[in-house]
Structure 1
Amino acid sequence: MAKILIVDDAKFMRMTLTNILKNGNHEIVGEAENGQEAVEKYEALSPDLVTMDITMPEKNGIEALKEIKAQSEQAKVIMCSAMGQQKMVVEAIEKGAKDFIVKPFDESRVLDAIDRVLN
Structure 2
Amino acid sequence: MTHPVDVHVGKRIRHRRWLIGMTQQQLAEQVGIKFQQIQKYETGANRVSASRLWDIAEALDIPVSFFFEGISDSQLSDGVDAPSDLMGDKEALDLVRSYYSNPENQRRRLFELARVLSDVA
TM-score normalized by structure 1?
0.27
Relative contact order higher in (CA < 8 Å, ≥ 6 apart): 2
Relative to its length, the structure with more strand (as a share) is: 1
- Which protein has the bigger helix share? 2
Q: Which has the larger radius of gyration?
A: 2
